[in-house]
């Protein structure tokens, strides 16, 4: 599933192609995604409207129009977005197409159809933080993302710190790949009970989290799943992974073989020497 850096990269890639363009019509394959596609509502509310913003919140792409409607897109596990000429052949899994006034269209391609499209009214859009994103934590780069925030939420939890970081209610957008990388950078074992982390641990972890995500965005995201950015080029941050996907390979810091375990059903990679502090997790 695309994580925060992938969605940010596609957002940045799409923005210059979409901003100030007029949506002329919307087409659908007729198949539902995770939820039914609101085709009729989109054509009624977005047709003839100018795109005024292209932003990201958590792992969602947000497209605003000049009538204050808000289109929200989630890529699911295998979805990707791209810009194509109207005349380009439509592929079998191009499930939603937004045509624009310049002969181009935005296409949502999703083979497994786990993605989703929502359309918010102006009132819903204005109240999206208490409504649609009411259960979503602060962005990793937000001033609200502080040691106090994490300490308060972690105080009564005994779950592994890795699961805690991946909880979208705690912090938005961090998935399995970057949770592995962040914990390695912070020298924390992924099974460490989150309530055993002190303020100093969070003071160390937060800047590392922000640095790793910034590097990932600058590098174009990772080429996990079927993600392709708007220019059609795969991201390449996966070439910089320190632990993810490196089972039995030498740690890039100490040379110890990287180990892999399952935590919460997700593959977890760590260095048993650099990340020794397990904190009675077992």
Which residues have a catalytic role annotated?
Answer: 2-3, 59, 266
Please give the backbone phi and psi of residue 83, each rounded to the nearest 5 degrees, phi first: -100, 130
Within 13 Å of residue 123, how many CA atoms lie on the same side as its CB?
Answer: 0
Place of tokens 């089972």: 247
CB 87 within 8 A of CB 71: no
Edge-to-edge order in the sheet of strand 51-57? 51-57, 60-65, 70-74, 116-120
Q: Strand, coil or helix: what is 212?
A: helix
> Which residues, listed in sequence order, are joined to residue 99 by a DSSP beta bridge?
25, 105
Helix 199-219 and helix 176-185: axis angle, to 10°? 130
Q: Which two tokens stand for residue 18?
A: 């979409």
Q: Strand, coil or helix: what is 258?
A: coil
């Amino acid at each position: 599933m695309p994580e925060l850096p992938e969605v940010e990269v596609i957002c940045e890639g799409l923005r210059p192609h979409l901003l100030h363009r007029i949506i002329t019509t919307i087409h659908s394959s007729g198949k539902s995604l995770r939820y039914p596609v609101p085709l009729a509502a989109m054509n009624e509310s977005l047709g003839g409207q100018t795109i005024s913003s292209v932003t990201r919140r958590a792992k969602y792409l947000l497209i605003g129009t000049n009538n204050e409607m808000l289109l929200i897109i989630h890529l699911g596990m295998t979805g990707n977005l791209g810009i194509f000429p109207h005349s380009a052949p439509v592929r079998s899994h191009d499930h939603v197409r937004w045509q624009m006034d310049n002969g181009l269209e935005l296409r949502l391609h999703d083979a497994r159809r786990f993605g989703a499209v929502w359309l918010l009214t102006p009132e819903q859009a204005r109240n999206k933080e208490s409504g649609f994103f009411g259960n979503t934590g602060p962005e990793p780069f937000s001033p609200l993302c502080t040691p106090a925030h994490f300490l308060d939420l972690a105080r009564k939890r005994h779950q592994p710190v890795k699961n805690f970081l991946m909880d979208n209610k705690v912090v938005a957008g961090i998935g399995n790949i970057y949770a592995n990388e962040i914990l390695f950078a912070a020298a924390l074992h992924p099974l460490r009970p989150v309530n055993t982390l002190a303020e100093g641990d969070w003071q160390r972890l937060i800047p590392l989290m922000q640095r790793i995500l910034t590097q990932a965005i600058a590098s174009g995201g990772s080429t996990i799943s079927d993600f392709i950015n708007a220019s059609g080029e795969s991201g390449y941050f996966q070439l910089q992974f320190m632990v993810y996907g490196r089972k039995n390979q030498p740690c890039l810091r100490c040379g110890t073989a990287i180990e892999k375990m399952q935590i919460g059903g997700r593959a977890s990679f760590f260095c048993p020497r650099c990340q020794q502090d397990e904190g009675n997790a077992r």
